[in-house]
Chains A and B, each alone.
Chain A
Amino acid sequence: MATVEERAESGGSGVSDEMLRGFFREMLLIRRFEEKVEERFRAGELPGFLHVAIGQEATATGVCAALAREDVIASTHRAHGHAIAKGTPVDRIMAELYGKKEGCSGGFGGSMHLYDVEVGLLGANAVVAGGIPGIVGSALAFQLKGEQRVAVAFFGDGATNAGTFHESLNLGQLWKVPAVFVLENNGWAESTPTVQHSPLPVDELGKRALAYGMKLIEVDGQDVELVYLAALASREHALSGKGPVLLHLRTNRLTGHYVGDPQVYRDKEELKRERETRDPIELLRARLELSDEELAAVDSEVTAEVEAAVEFAKAGTDPDPEDALKWVYA
């Protein structure tokens, strides 16, 4: 029997249609959530600023589906999808974006600092690569306590140039902690393309793992089935005591860096082509051969869920100004 890893590398098999339909629903939920927050942000309802992950739904869904509830993740500034996929209810994320007490961080965090410790979300991080060392530490704690749990860090290609990334991979592999480092490589560090930020070609960034003697697993990040299988294999490897995995997922940011980004730096034709050929939701829809009726049924369900989240958030409670000082110290 082929190992999960071999199945992932050979193009995937053994994921039931039922499971794929579940992935489809979640990815569409993330998409509709992101579109809704863009809309509400443009309407001036959401404070701060936002980064949406339109185009990157398969990485969040596929990876988190392979994790156990007690596994933990650290996310990035582009966090909504990770939080949804790890199990934070959309209404609590939406309430956070509205700055309400009912938010998953109680209104203290905002879009870039989503936390939900109960489901293993140890924080979205607004410092690129800032969450990676903490994941090594969580994994070290699991190792020391003899717990069968993994810790997972999400980050983008831009983060692979940061010292924290390299120091963390080095230390994580040295101590063989049960961690998975998920590189969501969308080819852009904000507005800077990989060719301007890395001496390696964009598709070869995963090679950085090899410098640390670390297991590298690479699959197309727009294929949720492959992502899921690769994440399962990564988790298995991380728990085997052989050290972490760098899971390199090539993905596409089908939108700007932040909501409102005019993307003057981006080739419009190229973006159009990516939208037509690399949308993970469209790819999965084709794979599942969903009819228009089936699609419409799922869509109305998740759209209603998102609408309800907006209502929940708007009806939420504003924190008292003095609450600001509540959590400075434990």
Chain B
Amino acid sequence: MPEVTYREAVRDALTRALREDEGVFLMGEDIAEMGGSMAVTQGLLHEFGPKRIRNTPISEMAIVGTAIGAAMQGMRPIVEIMYEDFLTLSMEQLVNQAAKHRTMSGGQLKVPLTIRTQGGAGWSPGAQHAQQLEAWFVHVPGLKVVFASTPEDVRGLLWTAIHDDNPVVFFEHRTLYPVKGEVPEELEPIPLGKARIHREGTDVTVVATGRLVHESLKAAEEAEKDGISVEVVDPRTLLPLDEGAIVASVRKTTRCVTAHEAVTRAGFGAELAAIVQHGAFDWLDAPIERVGARFTPLPFAPVMEQWVVPHAADVLDAVRRTVARA
């Protein structure tokens, strides 16, 4: 199987979708000649031209709103929001319009729209270029939310998101773009709502998303040296969520840690914890531990940034706490 970067995998899904369906087009800031601020859309302008690879003004409300309108007319627009912090500018259109048109119209309308965005700490961008806001969108009925952590997943999931008939907010993580991984020769669509078990284990389940999947796998290797067997599960799509796979894993291991880069408070881990305690209450041998960022806007200085967001060591500590209880 060929090895590609996460960035190339995203580009591959976009390219294939653009080739296959004339209704697919891209909109976003600096995505054309420049190829996107993360270089994801490099080369697409050359192949598909300016009608389908559309540079936009810095107008997130209009970008998302225009894509909504085009989607209502049967197109499949893909929007790139440069940083997920800037999603906040388009919240009205996403939350009040994209997510609600189908219900408000009594099923007359569909909004087949994909919003790609990225964020994440690890390079000292400061407070306005690195937030992890995925949990906000999980709270909105009508949206779907994806957060892919590997090249294979990001490609297969993006393909599915583009062809889904609902608005999908698709999160990529900045620090994952150069990460390499094997992908099948032919793109295999990955259904939304299906978790991936990255590593099987018997003592603790770590449910992790985004960058924390990789940190959790590192933590699992460390834990193994102490004789602790860690299972790492990546839900991949937060909405819909593969509750069954997560609950089944915890029933097997009897302990659970949730891990994401977003702040812990009211983060996605809180929802996971609620689902797990309900679905595996009688199996649990320890309180569910949550790993996430400390509750602060992200500071600039590398030493502070490093301390605020979670790493493998934080996951490992949480794993040890759950095991220590039993």
Contacts and interface: CB of A to CB of B under 8 A. Distances in A.
Interface of A: 103-109, 113, 115-118, 122-123, 125, 127, 130-142, 144-145, 151, 163-164, 167-168, 170-171, 174-175, 326-330
Contacts of B75: 141, 144
Nearest to B77: A137
Contacts of A174: 57
A118 B105 CA distance: 11
B64 interface: yes
Given A164-B93, A175-B54, 7 more contacts: A105-B108, A133-B93, A134-B68, A137-B69, A141-B72, A170-B59, A174-B57
A138 B74 CA distance: 9
B110 interface: yes
Interface residues of B, number: 43
Contacts of A326: 107
Given A137-B65, A164-B61, A170-B59, A330 B106 contact: no
B69 A136 contact: yes
A328 B102 contact: yes
A134 B105 contact: no
B101 interface: yes
A171 B56 contact: yes
B57 A330 contact: no
12 contacts: A108-B104, A117-B109, A118-B108, A130-B92, A130-B97, A133-B93, A141-B70, A141-B74, A164-B61, A164-B65, A167-B59, A167-B61
* Of listed B69, B75, B105, B110, residue having the most chain A CB within 10 A: B69
A318 B56 CA distance: 45
B166 A134 contact: no
Interface in B67-93: 67-75, 77, 92-93
Nearest to B74: A141
Interface in B25-73: 25, 51, 54, 56-57, 59, 61-73
A168 B67 CA distance: 12
B105 A117 contact: yes
B156 interface: no
A123 B104 contact: yes
B128 interface: no
Interface in B120-161: 141-142, 144
A20 B222 CA distance: 82
Given A115-B104, A130-B96, A328-B142, A136 B62 contact: yes
A33 B112 CA distance: 35
A115 B106 contact: yes
Contacts of B111: 330
Given A137-B70, A137-B72, A171-B66, A108 B103 contact: yes
Contacts of B57: 167, 170-171, 174
Contact of A136 (B65, B105, B106): B65
B70 A108 contact: no
A125 B70 CA distance: 17
Given A130-B92, A330-B166, A137 B71 contact: yes
Given A167-B61, A328-B103, A330-B110, A135 B97 contact: no
Contacts of B68: 133-134, 137
9 cross-chain pairs, A with B, having the tightest CB-CB distances, nearest first: A137-B69, A133-B65, A106-B106, A141-B73, A167-B62, A134-B69, A115-B105, A330-B165, A137-B66
Contacts of A171: 56-57, 59, 62-63, 66
* Of listed B56, B67, B101, B103, residue having the most chain A CB within 10 A: B103
Contacts of A140: 66, 69-70
Contact of B73 (A106, A130, A138, A329): A138
B237 to A, nearest CB: 13
Nearest to B107: A327
B65 A132 contact: yes
A103 B74 CA distance: 24
Contacts of A135: 69
B66 A327 contact: no
